[in-house]
Every structure is written in C-alpha cells, then in structure tokens.
Amino acid sequence: MSKSREKSLWDIAVQDSNEKEREGPGSEDSSVVIVGSKNAGKTSLILRFLDRDEAPKPTVALEYTFGRRSKGHNIAKDVGHIWELGGGTWLTKLMDIPLNADNLLHTTLVIMLDLSKPNELWFTLESLLKAAKARIDAVIQEMKSTKPDIKDVLKQKCWHKLGADNPDKSLMDPFLIPLVIVGGKYDMFQEFESEKRKVICKALRFMAHTHGASLQCFSVKQEQLVTRSRALISHHLFGTSASKTLQTDHNKPLLVPAGQDSLQLIGTPPLADGDIGKISARSPVELWKHAYTSYFPQENINNPAIVEDPAKDPHYAEAAIDTLRAQKDEELMRYQALCERRNRETQQGYTTAY
C-alpha cells in the first residue's frame, strides 16, 4: 500500500482558498477600524480583545494588528484585521488606508470617546463622523465603475440590520458601514453627578440611534465591560452572536444594540425652558448639538501643536537612533545660531552703509 503524501503549507493554503470560493460572498476577512479620543482606551481595548497581557503604548499614527479565530478542529482560521488611528481628530486623513474599495463591504468603524472629557466629546464625535463619511463617499465613487449599485447595497445592509419598518426611519441617517460608538473611561464617568451623566448618555444615544450605530461603555478596570467589548469586536470581526441586551439607564453602563433604541425612549434634548422656539435648528442633530454644547461648551482640540513628540517617549527608546537624533539636533541648533548671527551682521552692515 502506498504511503499517502503529507500536505504541505501550500496545499493547505490552496485548499483554504478553494473553500472560501465555494462559500461565496461573506467569506472574506473582516476589518475593524478604531478611531477616537486620545488616551480614551483604544489600545487597551485591542489588547484585551487579543488577550495580550502587556502595557499599552501610545499610538503615534496608524497601527495594524490582527486576530485569529479557529474553525473548530480545522487548521484554517478566520483572520480579523484591526486598525487603530492615533492622534484624536488630527490624523483623520490616514483613514484612507483602511477604508478602501477592497474591504469597504467588510469593515466596521469604531469611534471611541473619552467620557471623562465631556467638553471634547461632541467635537470629537462630530469631526470623526464627518471625516469618515467623506472618505466612504469617495470610496463609493471609486467603486461605481465596477459596482454601480454599491451605495444601494450598503443602504440595504443598513436597513436589514436596523429594521426597514423602524418607527424612526424618517429621522434616521444610517452610516453606510457598521458603526460602533464606545464610551471609554466609564470608571471615571460614573463619578460624575447624575444630571451630567444623564445629558451625556441621552446625547450619545441620540447620535448612535440616528446614525444606526451600536453604543456601549468600556473601562479596562471593569471586567464586565471588557467582556462585553470583546464580544462586540468578535461579532464584527468573526460574525459571532451579537448581544441583544438593552441597557439605557444613565446610572448603569450603556449597552444599546443598533436599531434597538428609539427617539421616544431617548426623549427631548435638555434645553432650557423656552429655548426650543428660539433656536433655528435645521435638523434634530443641530437641536441636540445646541443643547449638548450649551451644557458642555466644546474645546477645539484639533491642534497638531499639542501632539506629543514620539521621539521623546521612553517606550520607543533605541540607543543607536537616539544618539544619531541627538547629533542631528545639535547640528540643527548650530545651524540656527549661525543663521541668526549672519542675520545680525547683515542688519548691522545695512545700518552702517545707510
């Protein structure tokens, strides 16, 4: 009896590729793009999802990693791609890399907000939503030559998830790809006074609901919230079951699956008596923005000058490179001093000649 040939890695790869072709659409690897407030916990969320026991390092620009999920007893595994954008609202142009025509149909956007900084929250959310929408619109235009109905396909997927008969449909403008809003640093947020928590939670619920997004809270210090967040990322990367639990009480961590909230449950914006008639808002979003920003005046944090220099971060220390960098800094200082001296001499020469 002839001995059967063992499969090589190439054989396994070919077999896996053929299986994916037979599975058809939906078998492609999925991606999650995580953006949001600086120091809100984005890296910690990724590390906990990947079950990595290491201290988080600051994300300088755009970083990539991936997770694998075994398919039962098979050697082949699902691969989930994870992108993290640092810099808060400053580096939004880098979203062009993970949000592209090749993976748009299989990508989820996660916006993580710092709940401990309500005076930056609306500005951050609004800026990131605007930048992401602009990028998605550009990708859709790019794809129209090969997929003319791409926008209709994305809209159908949205309403299939949210419910085509949703009672708030006329007032909703769903994001064209799956959207998740995560409120980070919940452990600090829960120390706020009740009225502040109520205003923030209602505003986030409104923005999530009208954009067709899921909404939940996260804190690396609360294991229950870590577990919930891991389940949410797993759902979007690997198609695992999504939570159907609805938790809207502002005294507890929010947990709102997409399409499960309603404008009736959220209520009216927290405006002062008589304000509604005086505000010339063109949409419910503008009305909520006025209400929220009146309660929490926003600070414009979109300033590249406040972005830390990674060369000074001890996490990225490398002796050879740091020594060379120090030499170059000294050369630059000498050059600047020389330029200043020559400039003074030139000015003195002009004065003497005059």
Predicted model pTM: 0.77
Return the closest-CA partner of residue 231 out of 210, 250, 213, 214. Answer: 214
Q: Reduced to 3 states, what is the DSSP secondary structure of residue 35?
A: strand
Got the DSSP string for 331-345?
HHHHHHHHHHHHHHH
270/290 Cα distance (integer angstroms): 10
Q: Reduced to 3 states, what is the DSSP secondary structure of residue 310?
A: helix
Backbone conformation region of residue 173, classed left if phi is above 0, alpha if psi is from -120 to 50, else beta: beta
Q: Write down the pLDDT at residue 197.
A: 97
162 Cβ contact partners less than 8 Å away, ≥ 6 residues apart: 172, 174, 212, 258, 259
21 Cβ contact partners less than 8 Å away, ≥ 6 residues apart: none
146 Cβ contact partners less than 8 Å away, ≥ 6 residues apart: none
Question: Could you say which DSSP state residue 354 is in?
Answer: -
Q: Write down the pLDDT at residue 27.
A: 47
Per-residue pLDDT of the chain (354 residues; tens, 9 = 90+): 444 455 555 565 555 555 544 444 344 689 999 999 999 999 999 999 998 878 878 777 899 999 888 765 555 568 899 999 988 888 899 999 999 999 999 999 999 999 999 999 999 999 999 999 999 999 999 999 999 999 999 999 999 999 989 999 999 999 999 999 999 999 999 999 999 999 999 999 999 999 999 999 999 999 999 999 999 999 999 999 888 899 999 999 999 999 999 999 999 898 755 555 556 667 889 999 999 999 999 986 655 444 445 555 555 566 777 777 777 667 666 766 676 676 666 555 544 444
Q: Hey, what amino acid is at 313?
A: D
